[in-house]
Chains A and B, each alone.
Chain A
Amino acid sequence: MNEEKLFEIVSRVFNIPINEINYESNPENIENWDSFTGYVLLDEIEINFDVKLTMDESLEIEKIGDFINILKKKGINFE
């Protein structure tokens, strides 16, 4: 469920269909993912999951899977 919620946010921010998103999605294979839209994505994830990523966590993100790992650490369930 949370995976679906995350993918919906990614889909909305980058304006791409949900079925094109997976754990390996990254700026190389998502055209609209640039440094700025990357920040927008981070912002929307923080708001919608009600979490705050630290500076270091924010800078570590290279692909969608990284978000999931960080969110899991913050107690959000991705089973």
Chain B
Amino acid sequence: MEFIKNMEIKQLSHYMNEAKMIKPENHKNKIRIAFVGSFTLNGFEETMQVQCNDEKINCITYNSPYNQFNQEILNEDSNLYKFKPDLIFLIIDSRIILEDSFYFSNINSEDEKKKFTSKKFDEINNLIKIISKKSQSKIVITNFTIPTYTSLGIYESKIEYGTKEIILDLNKKLKVLSKNIDSCYVYDFNSFVTKFGEKNVIDYKKMYYGDIKINFDIIPHLIYEFLSYVKPILGLNKKCIVLDLDNTLWGNIIGEEGIEGIKIGPYPEGRSFVEFQKVIKSLSENGIILAINSKNNQKDAMKAINEHPHMILREQDFSCMKINWNDKISNMKEISNELNIGLDSIVFFDDDPVNRELIRMSMPEINTIELPEDPSTYAEILRNLNDFNTLKITKDDTERKKMYNQEQNRQKLESNTENLNEYLKKLDIKIKIKLDNKIAISRISQLILKTNQFNLTTKRYQEEQIKEFVEDETMIVGCSEVEDKFGENGITNVFIIKTKSNEWIIDTFLLSCRIMGRGIEEGIVGKILEIAKQKGIEKITATFIPTEKNKPAENFLKNYGFKKENENWVFLLKNKIKIPDHLQVELK
């Protein structure tokens, strides 16, 4: 299969052998993954371990005993629950769930078939609900594949509720289920089989001798898709696409051929670039930030971006544009600084292998995509990346682009203002603090999973745990919305406090990188101290746990006036509490 050769995915035997060589505990990111299935899932564990290890994730796996998914899920003491997974893949195939109806669905009346489907769905529904009660794990259930053959053949479309429709109905019900249970996701396995082809996925000989229902060379591709769930759980999904222009966003070189000479539009050489730009644009609508890093005359390039009739991406789609003759590395550094985005959150597209190698060598954290010479492959390569998935798309995600554009206006104001205090006053910053707000839980969890820089303890909690904290009377889960004269930043701070009778312990305190450097953290901590004081609390204890990335938060507690006490930082509430006077902080 030509398609498979294009991707950096290897044969199953490679993963089986590599898995034995992985040294345990050598990565900071850790995840426990369980596979629960109705057929042989050998090879899944090893492939997942190795693909995770390649992404610098330490992955511990568990495979439920062959075809014992019911027992494993229903029995509270099963090894599945003892394993304490963070993520469970539940993989049940159409043949098992439909039993004889998979083959002989037409002997029954429509009514009987509907009853049967409902009964089958209830069984699955029950399993998912039990897992979500007994475990804090996220659950991914694969949907059911629609067989290409049915006994009615071409007549299938004329009858009500044939085999294909039964499966479509089950899949539709699964989707509703996953909308209702936060921790449950449906993986579209049917689309996966469509993508690779039923003939390639199923090898009947293997199915008969080993109950192997996914062919060996396909397993590594399925696991690659499963990583789409792993990355966002660990906050490793990418936030930004940095793009070259000539021969990347359009064909030809604008500086030489001019706006009339570049290739983009409804003709053979132009369509590749139109499609590629459309895929990029659709990602940006889900909150992925776009930037340009190109060696060009800015005037020529901007003319094409703004005026070419067939460009899909326009100036306002880019949150940062470095179009100049500087080297790509310094441009990349500036993009990362201006957007306040770590290099490890960036995916880079450039048609020039020399530039790619340059960035790979000097900035290995960036995911630099290997592009073949043929631009007709670009869109498909981008669609196949598993880096942009999120488990939730929040309002903040879809508005992020707007917020970054506001940030650019702020930076313009800053460069026009001589004194920092004067600048901060001009910003007119308002902070609204909310406590134990259930509506904000998904955004809170998102920030907890992905904030690296201004994060005192970098503790990662999943949404399910945060819900428990909100319910817990001895804990406070707070968040802050920040706005200024340029617009709203949304929820950009989270704190979690453990309360005792006369002491509050700050378990988590973080600030989104978007709003760093404006004294906002001092305003929020000041307000927390005031609230504590009103409640008769005497002292606040905080900790700073250093990581590779949280240097920006290193001196915060000390500078605010916390005093070091053993490993902790303590603030006695009899001392004066300060809130910077350029901030308006209120508790909602």
Contacting residues, chain B, for A44 (C-beta < 8 A): 11, 13
Whether B209 contacts A40 by the Cβ 8 Å rule is: no
* A24 contacts chain B at the CB level, 8 A cutoff: no
Using known A-B contacts A36-B42, A36-B43, A40-B12, determine if residue A55 contacts B20 with beta carbons closer than 8 Å.
Answer: no
- From the candidates B16, B40, B208, B209, name the one contacting A37 in the complex (CB within 8 A): B16
Contacting residues, chain A, for B268 (C-beta < 8 A): none
Using known A-B contacts A40-B216, A43-B216, A44-B11, determine if residue A15 contacts B17 with beta carbons closer than 8 Å.
Answer: yes
Residue of A nearest to B20 (CB): A15
- From the candidates A13, A37, A55, name the one contacting B205 in the complex (CB within 8 A): A55
Contacting residues, chain A, for B217 (C-beta < 8 A): 43, 47
Q: How many A-B residue pairs have CB under 8 A?
A: 38
Measured CA separation A35–B206 after assembly (Å): 12
Interface residues on B, range: 10 to 19
Contacting residues, chain A, for B210 (C-beta < 8 A): 35-36, 39
Contacting residues, chain B, for A35 (C-beta < 8 A): 210
- From the candidates B43, B209, B216, name the one contacting A55 in the complex (CB within 8 A): B209
Contacting residues, chain B, for A12 (C-beta < 8 A): 13, 17
Measured CA separation A30–B402 after assembly (Å): 61
Whether A40 contacts B205 by the Cβ 8 Å rule is: no
* A59 contacts chain B at the CB level, 8 A cutoff: yes
Interface residues on A, range: 10 to 19
A75 to chain B, nearest CB (A): 20
Residue of A nearest to B216 (CB): A43
Whether B17 contacts A39 by the Cβ 8 Å rule is: no
* B341 contacts chain A at the CB level, 8 A cutoff: no
Residue of A nearest to B14 (CB): A12
Residue of B nearest to A53 (CB): B205
Measured CA separation A72–B17 after assembly (Å): 29
8 A Cβ contacts from A1-39 to B: 12-13, 15, 35-37, 39
A76 to chain B, nearest CB (A): 19
Contacting residues, chain A, for B43 (C-beta < 8 A): 36, 40
Whether B13 contacts A40 by the Cβ 8 Å rule is: yes
Whether B16 contacts A58 by the Cβ 8 Å rule is: no
Using known A-B contacts A36-B43, A40-B43, determine if residue A13 contacts B13 with beta carbons closer than 8 Å.
Answer: yes
Whether B16 contacts A40 by the Cβ 8 Å rule is: yes
Using known A-B contacts A36-B42, A40-B43, determine if residue A55 contacts B13 with beta carbons closer than 8 Å.
Answer: no
Measured CA separation A37–B43 after assembly (Å): 9
* B234 contacts chain A at the CB level, 8 A cutoff: no
* B212 contacts chain A at the CB level, 8 A cutoff: yes
Measured CA separation A48–B216 after assembly (Å): 14
Residue of A nearest to B42 (CB): A36
Residue of B nearest to A43 (CB): B216
Contacting residues, chain B, for A59 (C-beta < 8 A): 209
Residues of A within 8 A of B (CB): 12-13, 15, 35-37, 39-40, 43-44, 47, 53, 55, 58-59
Q: Which 8 A-B pairs have the closest CB atoms?
A: A36-B42, A15-B17, A13-B13, A43-B216, A39-B210, A40-B13, A55-B205, A12-B13
